[in-house]
């Protein structure tokens, strides 16, 4: 699977893509992650990428022609172009699962006052990672790239890992424990030491439901009732 990230600030994103799970997945040939500087497609001697907004107002707006040229330079057959936008649909694990089946994802990251609104007609979808505003779309794109990459077969090594994680089954994940068995009076639940795997699975499911009901009742049918 291939990820292409279009940005005015490539230095913000290169390091995260080269380390931990994403770095290992690239070295193993499971994914490709490329960063492309939008300024390379700028206009004129000074590679201009923005201009003052029509109608007046503060700040500068990124040019639609520049950004579209950047998209076209990397798009292959079957690519899906995603605009990172605070007005986009909120990203969820369901989105991650859907996107993980695609051959190429292109992330368009705006800056300044954003990108000329005509870009919305030239992308496939708009996504947001939450109801707040960031300086640019780079960090949000990294969040989505990692969430999607984890679902690509082979990336996590143990395929059961992603199946058990929070939101994969609509619930928050159950709690995990390891040594020491007793830490400052806080003990590991006895059931996890019993060796009864069926009972442990039932306990974990109950914990997931209880945690979801307490922390995220909106994930449960009818608000957790």
Task: For residues 132 and 185, state if they share a domain.
Answer: no
The CATH number for 170's domain is 1.10.1270.20
pLDDT over 60 at 225, yes or no: no
Residue 8: CB atoms within 10 A of its CB come to 20
Task: For residues 121 and 189, state if they share a domain.
Answer: no
Q: Which domain holds residue 62?
A: 2-149
Task: For residues 92 and 187, state if they share a domain.
Answer: no
pLDDT at 166: 61
pLDDT over 60 at 214, yes or no: yes
- Mean pLDDT along residues 5-9: 98
- Mean pLDDT along residues 93-98: 97
The residue with tokens 């300044």 is 112
Q: How far apart are CA 188 and CA 182, in angstroms?
A: 7
> Tens digit of pLDDT for each residue in 152-208?
999 998 665 655 666 767 899 999 999 999 999 999 999 999 999 999 999 999 999
Task: For residues 37 and 138, state if they share a domain.
Answer: yes
Q: How far apart are CA 53 and CA 165, in angstroms?
A: 44
Residue 137 lies in a domain: yes
pLDDT over 80 at 104, yes or no: yes
Cβ-proximal residues to 195 (8 Å cutoff; 6+ apart), any chain: none
Residue 159 lies in a domain: no
pLDDT at 169: 79
Q: How far apart are CA 130 and CA 71, in angstroms?
A: 24
| Residue that terminates a domain, selected from 116, 149, 182 | 149
| Residue that terminates a domain, selected from 149, 183, 203 | 149
How many domains is the chain partitioned into structurally? 2
Task: For residues 95 and 19, state if they share a domain.
Answer: yes
pLDDT at 157: 83
Q: Kindly provide the b/e burial profile for residues 114-153, where b requires at least 16 CB atoms within 10 angstroms of the residue's own CB.
A: bbbeebeebbeebbbbeeeeeebbbebbbbbbbbbbbbee
> Tens digit of pLDDT for each residue in 20-36?
999 999 999 999 999 99
Task: For residues 172 and 113, state if they share a domain.
Answer: no
The mean predicted confidence, pLDDT, of the chain is 94
Which two tokens mark 166?
A: 């929070």
Q: How far apart are CA 192 and CA 171, in angstroms?
A: 20
Task: For residues 210 and 108, state if they share a domain.
Answer: no
The CATH number for 140's domain is 3.40.1280.10
Residue 201 lies in a domain: yes
| Residue that terminates a domain, selected from 100, 115, 149 | 149
Task: For residues 179 and 213, state if they share a domain.
Answer: yes
- pLDDT bucket at 224, cuts 50 / 70 / 90: low
Which two tokens mark 20?
A: 């931990």
Nearest to 41 by CA among 61, 76, 12, 71: 71
Task: For residues 43 and 105, state if they share a domain.
Answer: yes
- Mean pLDDT along residues 106-119: 95
Q: How far apart are CA 82 and CA 78, in angstroms?
A: 13
Task: For residues 124 and 190, state if they share a domain.
Answer: no
Task: For residues 49 and 19, state if they share a domain.
Answer: yes
Question: What predicted TM-score, i.e. pTM, was given to this entire model?
Answer: 0.89
What is the DSSP code string of 151-191? TSTTSSSSHHHHHHSTTTTSSPPPP---S-SEETTEEPPGG
Residue 129 lies in a domain: yes
Task: For residues 145 and 170, state if they share a domain.
Answer: no
């Amino acid at each position: 699977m291939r990820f292409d990230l279009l940005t005015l600030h490539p230095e913000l994103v290169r390091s995260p893509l080269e380390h931990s799970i994403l770095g290992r997945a690239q070295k193993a040939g499971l994914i490709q992650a490329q960063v492309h500087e939008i300024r390379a497609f700028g206009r004129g001697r000074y590679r201009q990428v923005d201009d003052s907004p029509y109608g007046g107002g503060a700040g500068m707006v990124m040019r639609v022609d520049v950004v579209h040229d950047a998209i076209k330079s990397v798009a292959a057959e079957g690519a899906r172009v995603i605009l990172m936008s605070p007005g986009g649909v909120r990203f969820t694990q369901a989105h991650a699962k859907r996107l993980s089946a695609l051959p190429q994802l292109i992330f368009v990251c705006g800056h300044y006052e954003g990108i000329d609104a005509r870009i919305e007609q030239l992308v496939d979808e708009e996504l947001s990672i939450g109801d707040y505003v960031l300086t640019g779309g780079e960090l949000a794109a990294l969040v989505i790239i990692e969430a999607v990459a984890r679902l690509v077969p082979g990336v996590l090594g143990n395929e059961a890992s992603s199946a058990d994680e929070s939101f994969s089954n609509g619930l928050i994940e159950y709690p995990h424990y390891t040594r020491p068995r007793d830490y400052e009076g806080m003990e590991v639940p006895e059931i996890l030491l019993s060796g009864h795997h069926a009972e442990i699975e039932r306990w974990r499911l109950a914990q997931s439901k209880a945690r979801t009901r307490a922390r995220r009742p909106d994930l449960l049918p009818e608000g957790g009732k």
